[in-house]
């Protein structure tokens, strides 16, 4: 069976590897089908596709859209999109355009906690002019000695309720799904186990996602415990969602799983790739 990894980031958002290097690493690790899913941007897909063609890997064109749902930020992975689609491209540009002002607000919040110069500090880690994210602040905070490694930063900074967290209005769930569908893609709720919601809240999110036309949920993700993988497999079956799998790889030293390091999907779910 081919090996799938349908969630990964490059330097076009907050990943550490350029698209071609990411694809080459995936191929070397035995991944047959890789989706590049940069946050709110499809700029890396041309380079990734060329690299994939050169090394015999199948590249799925994707993106990971930032969405506001109730008081939460949730992520929707788009898979098998046409990156040239104007509706999606305009939507992604609209999501990205708030990021710089948000970054200034993050820096002001960190300044109030005694950490100066965070905007300029984070900017030095940015690898695409179009996108600044909390990951870039996290790298700055490690460099400045406020945490040992990026995986630790979010325990004390940048997460809800911590210095450096600011509320932000992203896309709406129905808009994000509509843009993905306009571009011919499938909408996948990313790492559902990561959202801080009650069981009732999760059912509401899954219901809203389904009602807005969502196609699939990530069942396998390094954000999930084994029990959560089983739980989301059950949710996929009962809500009628396809099941996806991805490492959410961001680069050497920053990720919980390397490219392709995923178990098989649990029995009884329909893989999202059955649609291709």
Question: What is the binding site for ligand AMP (CB under 6 A)?
Answer: 14, 39, 66, 133-135, 151, 154, 159, 250
Look up residue 43 and give its two tokens. 């700029």
**Alpha helices, DSSP H, located in 113-172:** 118-123, 134-143, 150-156
Tell me, rounded to whole angstroms, the distance of Cα 38 from its chain centroid.
Answer: 7
Q: Which does 66 bind (CB under 5 to 8 A by kind): Mn ion, ligand AMP, none?
A: ligand AMP
Instruction: Name the minimum Å distance from CB 234 to Mn ion.
Output: 22
Q: Which does 25 bind (CB under 5 to 8 A by kind): Mn ion, ligand AMP, none?
A: none
**Residue length, the chain?**
276
Q: Which of residues 150-209 bind Mn ion (CB under 5 A)?
A: 190
Q: Which does 151 bind (CB under 5 to 8 A by kind): Mn ion, ligand AMP, none?
A: ligand AMP
- Residue 14 binds Mn ion, judged by CB under 5 A: yes
Number of residues that bind Mn ion (CB under 5 A): 5
Instruction: Name the minimum Å distance from CB 111 to Mn ion.
Output: 24
Q: Which does 38 bind (CB under 5 to 8 A by kind): Mn ion, ligand AMP, none?
A: none
x/- mask, Mn ion, residues 53-92, rule CB under 5 A, reads -----------x----------x-----------------
**Helix, strand or coil, per DSSP, at residue 62:** strand
User: Quick check: 65 and 75 in contact, CB under 8 A?
Assistant: yes
27 to 30, 36, 46, 52, 156: CA distances (angstroms): 5, 13, 17, 8, 36
109 CB neighbour count, 10 Å cutoff: 18
User: Quick check: 35 and 60 in contact, CB under 8 A?
Assistant: yes
Q: How far apart are CA 240 and CA 221, in angstroms?
A: 19
Instruction: Name the minimum Å distance from CB 106 to ligand AMP.
Output: 8
Q: How far apart are CA 160 and CA 136, in angstroms?
A: 17
- Of the pair 122, 245, the CB lying nearest ligand AMP is at 122
x/- mask, Mn ion, residues 214-253, rule CB under 5 A, reads ----------------------------------x-----
**Helix, strand or coil, per DSSP, at residue 179:** helix
Q: Which does 139 bind (CB under 5 to 8 A by kind): ligand AMP, Mn ion, none?
A: none
Instruction: Name the minimum Å distance from CB 9 to Mn ion.
Output: 5
128 to 15, 41, 156, 227: CA distances (angstroms): 10, 10, 26, 37
Instruction: Name the minimum Å distance from CB 246 to Mn ion.
Output: 8
116 CB neighbour count, 10 Å cutoff: 11
- Of the pair 151, 204, the CB lying nearest ligand AMP is at 151
Instruction: Name the minimum Å distance from CB 184 to Mn ion.
Output: 21
Dihedral, CA of residue 158, residue 98, residue 41 and residue 109, to nearest 10: -10
Q: Which does 209 bind (CB under 5 to 8 A by kind): ligand AMP, Mn ion, none?
A: none
Enumerate binding residues for Mn ion (CB under 5 A). 14, 64, 75, 190, 248
């Amino acid at each position: 069976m081919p090996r799938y990894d349908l969630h990964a980031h490059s330097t076009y958002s907050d990943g550490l590897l350029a698209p071609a290097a990411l694809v080459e690493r995936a191929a070397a690790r035995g991944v047959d089908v890789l989706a590049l899913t940069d946050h709110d941007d499809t700029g890396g897909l041309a380079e990734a596709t060329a690299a994939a063609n050169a090394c015999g890997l199948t590249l799925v064109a994707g993106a990971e859209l930032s969405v506001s749902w109730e008081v939460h930020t949730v992520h929707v992975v788009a898979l098998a999109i046409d990156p040239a689609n104007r509706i999606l491209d305009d939507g992604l540009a609209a999501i990205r355009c708030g990021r710089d002002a948000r970054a200034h607000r993050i820096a002001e919040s960190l300044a109030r906690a005694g950490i100066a110069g965070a905007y300029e500090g984070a900017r030095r880690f940015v690898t695409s002019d179009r996108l600044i994210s909390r990951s870039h602040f996290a790298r700055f905070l490690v460099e400045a000695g406020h945490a040992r490694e990026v995986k630790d930063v979010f325990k004390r900074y940048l997460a809800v309720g911590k210095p450096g967290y600011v509320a932000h209005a992203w896309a709406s769930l129905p808009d994000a799904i509509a843009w993905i569908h306009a571009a011919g893609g499938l909408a996948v709720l990313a790492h559902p186990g990561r959202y801080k919601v009650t069981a009732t809240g999760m059912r509401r999110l899954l219901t809203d996602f389904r009602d807005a036309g969502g196609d699939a949920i990530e069942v396998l993700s390094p954000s999930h415990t084994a029990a959560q993988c089983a739980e989301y497999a059950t949710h996929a079956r009962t809500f009628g969602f396809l099941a996806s799998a991805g490492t959410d790889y961001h680069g050497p030293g920053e990720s919980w799983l390397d490219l392709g390091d995923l178990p098989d999907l649990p029995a009884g779910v329909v893989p999202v790739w059955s649609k291709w």
